[in-house]
Structure formats: C-alpha cells, structure tokens
Amino acid sequence: SQAPRLPVPDSVLCMFRDQEEAETVVDDSSKHGGRLRTFPHERGNWATHVYVPYEAQEDFLDLLQLLLLRARASVPSLTAMAEFHISLSQGVILRHHWISPVVQSLKEHLASFPRFTCRADRVTIYTNDPKSRTFIGLEVTSGHSQLLELVSEVDRVMEEFSLPSFYKNPSFHLSLAWCVGNLSEELESCLQELQEIVNRFEDSSYLVRIPGAEVRCKSGKKIFSFPLR
C-alpha cells in the first residue's frame, strides 16, 4: 500500500504564498534622497545589511563640513551621509521568516570575536556597481585584517542561506557623502586637497579611529546588535 503523504509544513506553504503575493512597488527615489534602489522593493522582502557602526561626534561632523565645503565646489549635489559605518556585507534581500535564523546564526558566528580598533584616514572616491552613485569615503588604513576576519564570519552565514558573500579584496571604508551619477572624475580632481584637510585637522588621528566593539545587522527598519568580546 502507498505510504500516506505527509502534509507540507505551513512555513513552506507561506513561503510560496509570499512569492505569489509579492507585488513590485514603484520605486520613488525622492523617498531615499534621490538614490535609486539597485533591487526592486517587494512586499515581504527585507533589505538587509551587516556593518560596523561609527557614532560620529561633533568634531568629526566639523571635519565632514570642511570636506563638503571643498568637494561641493566641484560637485554641488553632494549630500552628507545620515549615518556612518563600515560595511561587512553586500545589501541582500531576506524573506521575513529568514530574519530570525539569519540573526541567530550571526550571533553564534560573532560571539567569540575579540574587539579591535581600526583607523580610516585615506580619502577615497567610490562608485557603486551600476555607477549610478558616487561616494566620498575614508578608507581603512589599519585594522584591515580584523575586518577581513569579520567578513569571513559574515560570509559563512550568507553562504548558509545561499545569499551573496562580500566582495573579494574589499576596500573597507566609511562613506561620508554621496551624489547621484558617476562624478568620480570631478571628485578625483580635488582628492589631494581633501586629504590635506583631513591631515591638517586638529585631533584628526583620534577622530578617524573606529572602535570595533559591535557589529549590527539592519533588516528593514529593525536593527540587531552583536557586541564583540
């Protein structure tokens, strides 16, 4: 006699139902400061990102204003970042029911990672993959090896859920400001002056030290924190 068919678990049925119900939302770039999403927003999809946060103090914001003053002479449309961090993952899409297991896995992989300090003091110009945005950033000049080890832990979690791992040979950096379009040539032309502003700024060596004391994962509007040991 034929074995009875086991019922399909609700979680699996919901997964397919979510896919059928997902509807593409028209992307309104005015809602995120003129930036374009590089993936469509769909109901039930959560944009997710893992990073080391940097809490900017007043002196750092003063330095940023000086940099923007000079850079905007070349590119007037530059906008300061609202928050500062060093990315440890690409932006990935999670289904809602994946958030808890991904967060739990990150917690397990990062629990025994020791705290460290890194330094970001080299002004660098970046563009995103589709070259639809240009960024001014401070590139990490020490603490690179610890960040690489952190990325390898985060990558293990991503691979566990068949999500894309981080870029090979990454340039770790703190993004300071951005603009729409590929304006890297215009910004490269004042790069040396921007670097001199950082070098000459009082206490800049202290300002550009980033404490690697915690890792955060932002999924939609939820933020999960993983303190390092």
Q: Where are the domains of the chain?
A: 44-227
pTM of this prediction exceeds 0.75? yes
Active site residue 32: no
- The predicted structure's pLDDT at residue 44: 84
Residue 188 CB partners (closer than 8 Å, separation 6+): 125
> Could you say which of 41, 49, 97, 173 is catalytic?
173
> Could you say which of 32, 41, 85, 97 is catalytic?
85
**CATH H-level, domain 44-227: superfamily:** Cyclic phosphodiesterase (3.90.1140.10)
CB neighbour burial string for 82-119, b if at least 16 within 10 angstroms, e if fewer: eebbbbbbbebbbbeebbeebbebbeebbeebeebebb
Active site residue 173: yes
Distance CA 151, CA 157 (A): 10
pLDDT in tens, 127-177: 998 999 999 999 999 999 999 999 999 999 999 999 999 999 999 999 999
